Structure 1
Amino acid sequence: MDLTVVHHPFGVAEVSVAGRLNMVTAARMREAIQSAIDDNHPNVAVDLSRVVFLDSSGLGALIAGLKAVRAAGGDLRLVRPAEQAQLVLELTNMSSTLKSYDSVGDAFTHA
C-alpha cells in the first residue's frame, strides 16, 4: 500500500491510499490519521480512489480514525471510494456514517 499525507491550507489533512487497505496495512492508516490529529489537523479526508481492496480490518481502521478525529473536534470524510471499497461500505451500512465526496474541497464545504 502506498500512503501519502498532504496538509491543505484550509486545515484539512488528505490521506491518499493506493493498493490494499487490509489487515496488513490497517495500522499504517490508523497511524497516519493519528499523526494528522497530532499535527493539529483533526479534519481528515481519506482518498480511496486508488484502493483496489478494502477488508474488515481496513474498514475498522477508518472507523477508528473517525472516532479519533471526532474526539479531537474534527471529522473524517471519504473522497471518491473505488468500486470495491464503495461496495464494502454499502454492504456494511457504513456509507451513511463514512460520507463520500467528489473532492477534498467538497468534503469539507458540506455540513
Structure 2
Amino acid sequence: MNLTVTTGADYAVIRPEGRVTATTVPQLRKAVDELVGGGSPRIVVDLGGTEFIDSSGLGALIGGLKAARLAGGDLRIAATPESVRKVLRLTNLDRVLRDHPTPETAFDGD
C-alpha cells in the first residue's frame, strides 16, 4: 500500500492506494496519529485508490474516527469504490463512516 498525506488549511487528506490490510494498517494509523497529534484533527480518507480493505483496515478507520473526535475534529471517507462500500455495508459501518463523493466535499457545510 502506498500512502500520501496532504495537509490543507481546513483539513488533511490521507490517500491509501492498494490493499488496506493487517500488514499495511500501521502506516494508516501512524498517519492519523501524526495528524491528530500535530493539531489537524479534521481528516478525510480518500479511498479512491483502495482496492481492498479488511477488518483491521476498518478497525483503523474507526480508531482514527475516535481519535479525531476526541481531539475536536472528525474523520470522513470519500471516493469509496464499490468493493470497499460493500464491506462497509456488510459491517453496518456505512452508518458510522458516511461516504462523500470527493475529499473536497467531505467537509462542505461545516
Q: When the two structures are superposed, what TM-score results if normalisation uses the length of structure 1?
A: 0.95
Q: Does 1:84 align with 2:83?
A: yes
Q: Which runs of 5+ in 1 are unaligned?
A: none
- Distance in 2 separating the partners of 1:18 and 1:58: 13
Q: How many residues align?
A: 110
Q: Which runs of 5+ in 2 are unaligned?
A: none
Root mean square deviation of aligned Cα? 1.0
How many angstroms does 1:2 deviate by?
Answer: 0.4
- Of all paired residues, the percent bearing the same amino acid is 40
Q: Does 1:25 align with 2:24?
A: yes
- Which string of whole-angstrom CA distances, capped at 9 and with x for unpartnered residues, describes residues 63-97 of structure 1? 00000000000000001111211111010000010
- Distance in 2 separating the partners of 1:5 and 1:20: 17
Give every structure 1 segment of 4 or more consecutive aligned residues whose post-TM-superposition deviation is greater than 6 Å: none
Counterpart in the other structure of 2:2: 2
How many angstroms does 1:110 deviate by?
Answer: 3.8
Q: When the two structures are superposed, what TM-score results if normalisation uses the length of structure 2?
A: 0.95
| Aligned-partner SS, 2:97 | coil
How many angstroms does 1:105 deviate by?
Answer: 2.1
